[in-house]
Amino acid sequence: MPQFHKTISIICLLAPGGVLAQTVDQTTTSAPEMERNTSASDWSLEVGVTPKFFYRLNDGPGAAESAEIEAFAEVAYGPAYFHALVLSLDDPRDDAQFELTLGHRGDLTEKLAYDAYYTRFLRDETGDVRGELHGKFDYSVSEEWRATVDLGVEPERGDWVYKLEGGYTFNDRVDAYAFVERDDILDYTGYEVGVNYDLDEGNAPLDASLLSYVNHTEGGDTVFAVQITLSRFLLGD
């Protein structure tokens, strides 16, 4: 039976905006197993929607409230996947951004996982914006601690994106994380800290996150936000 997944995030941002990349760890089968198992169980399909509500803390009470909404679909076959996302924008030039990702992920060792992916960003009026090629590595330091390195490059111009993240799992429902990132494409450096809470142990996770961004080139707004994600596997799990 397919399961619904619900996520709520509480966010504090310092910056006009930013792009958050979300990844999912996935254990893959070995090559011989993949050759033998070509049934429908190798396929998965997930769809979801995420409304986001923002409030700028530094604009005074009742000021600068806004909302966005994301919708996504991901189809995977073994370690290979295709992820499509559409995001509404509060932008005078564009109403929506589309992100198309093609990737391959799996385990290199018991503690080290990888995710190699390419994402193309497009907008409804501006058109083709850019593409990013990424290599991400997740390392389980212990049962509680984890570390992540994500390196990306825009092949057309050679600009880089760097992200270093650490996380700690308290129990099956609560984990905390923090990361710092540098984006040469958007010319900003930022950081984020957060706590996630799983309300129903995987059946309907409720995640609460406190996030922060800093933009050193343009300054930035302090924003408080609530994010709710509802997703469902239509195939696989």
Query: What is the per-residue pLDDT across 73-131, written as a single tens digit (0 to 9) for each?
Result: 999 999 999 999 999 987 888 899 999 999 999 999 999 999 999 999 999 988 888 89
| pLDDT cut 90: percent of the chain above it | 36
Number of domains in the chain: 1
Spatial separation of the C-alpha atoms in residues 66 and 68, rounded to whole Å: 7
Spatial separation of the C-alpha atoms in residues 205 and 172, rounded to whole Å: 11
Q: Map residue 236 onto helix, strand or coil.
A: coil
> Which range, 143-152, 190-199, 206-215, 219-228, is most confident?
143-152
C-alpha to C-alpha distances, 124 to 22, 68, 171, 184, 228, nearest whole angstrom: 23, 15, 42, 24, 24
DSSP secondary structure letters along 112-153? EEEEEEEEEEEETTTEEEEEEEEEEEEEESSSSEEEEEEEEE
Domain with 98 in it: 4-235
pLDDT range class, residue 215, cuts 50, 70, 90: very low
| For residue 15, pLDDT beyond 90 | no
| For residue 32, pLDDT beyond 80 | no
Report the pLDDT value the prediction gives residue 227, as an integer from 0 to 100: 66
Phi, psi of 33 (to 5 degrees): -65, -40
Q: Is the dihedral of CA 160, 130, 74, 232 positive or negative?
A: positive
CATH number, position 226:
2.40.160
Between these two residues, 190 and 118, which has the higher pLDDT value? 118
Spatial separation of the C-alpha atoms in residues 26 and 5, rounded to whole Å: 17
The residue to which tokens 């991901």 are assigned? 74
Spatial separation of the C-alpha atoms in residues 233 and 101, rounded to whole Å: 18
